[in-house]
Structure 1
Amino acid sequence: MADDRMADIFAAVRLGGGDREAARTALERLWDEIGEGGDTLYRCVIAHHLADMQDTAEGALHWDRRALAAVFGPGVPLDEGLRGFLPSLYLNLADSHRRVGDFDAARMHLTIARGHLDVLAHDAYGALIRTGLNEVDIALAAGSVDRLPTGESAYKTA
């Protein structure tokens, strides 16, 4: 999607590579501008990336929930574009629940994420999400609440 608002969102996300605080501030400003009743896709993408920019697992979980809520808001049609986000959204929810120590919720969200894998192609992005599912599953089995070894798993920046 090549529009000005999406360009603004991804410009804010790119700030996170060097300055997470600047990225958070820019994304939160965009969130406020779009508002609760704003475009579903924008809200989902902003919240999805804001979750990745949080310093705490609780903060990430808050924004992961908002990303999913944007997709399933009242009257929001679940189109192909939004449906394509579901494996990643549920994966991030699983990881955030794991990091706050809610392993049952983490397992539930992993199961839901796997149930949506059919929307993913067998390409690099699909492999990234599938790898993320395995990483979170391994961390759950170990009882870990730590960030994944990559600091922020590669799937989170997808």
Structure 2
Amino acid sequence: MPTEDMTMKRIEEAMVLQHAGDSSGARQRFAEIWEEIAPDGDPFHRCVLAHYMADLQPDPQDELDWDLRALDAAASVTDERAKQHDSALAIRGFYPSLHLNLAADFHKLGDTTQARTHLTQAQEHLDALDDDGYGQGIRSAIQRLAGRLTEEDPMTSANEEASN
């Protein structure tokens, strides 16, 4: 019988607080766990924690910093490690959401060039998503952000499409 991953259990407990609307409680729990696992802890733990911690940041620059930590950690996660948590997981499936979040962060910060770059990277990984509620939600969010970027600067979008 596999050993229970107590760190993931604690991360999931903090996620429950987050989803219940207790942002400060979730942020505090994530910060405590981060202190224990970063910077050289299990990259799967770091990726998941940073991904959820980013959503709790009131400052867009702090949100970007956490999303960058999640992407950086994902680069070190293997499918084998992801499957230890859930046999259906593959790390490639994380990338559409990770890049979408980064695109949204850069958009909030007014850096449309980086927003477009990460949106393109999110789109390049869409084939890793299942055609389920989660996959449809990510696809929809990517389309919404792409639409906002086009509305804000249609000439850049037209120029990018012409160069492709």
Bin of the TM-score, shorter chain as denominator length: 0.7 to 0.9
Q: Report the Cα offset of residue 106 of structure 1.
A: 0.4
Percent of counterpart pairs with the same letter? 41
- TM-score (norm. length: structure 2): 0.80
- Residue 99 of structure 1 aligns with which residue? 108
- Residue 3 of structure 1 aligns with which residue? 5
- Residue 147 of structure 2 aligns with which residue? 138
- Give the secondary structure class of the aligned counterpart of 2:130: coil
> More deviation in 76-85 or 33-42?
76-85
Q: What one-letter code is carried by the residue in structure 1 that aligns with 2:68?
A: R
26, 31, 56: which is aligned to 2:29?
26
Larger RCO: Structure 1 or Structure 2 (Cα < 8 Å, ≥ 6 residues apart)? 1
Is the contact made by 1:71 and 1:82 (CA closer than 8 Å) also made in structure 2?
Answer: yes
Bigger radius of gyration among the two: 2
CA–CA distance in 2 between the matches of 1:77 and 1:120?
A: 17
Q: Which residues of structure 1 form unaligned runs of 5+?
A: 145-158
Moved over 4 A (4+): none
Q: What one-letter code is carried by the residue in structure 1 that aligns with 2:115?
A: A
Q: Report the Cα offset of residue 78 of structure 1.
A: 4.1
Evaluate the alpha carbon distance shift between residue 57 and residue 77 of structure 1 in structure 2; reply closer, same or farther with a 3 A threshold.
Answer: closer
Q: Report the Cα offset of residue 139 of structure 1.
A: 2.2
| Structure 1 or 2: more helix by fraction | 2
Root-mean-square deviation (Å): 1.9
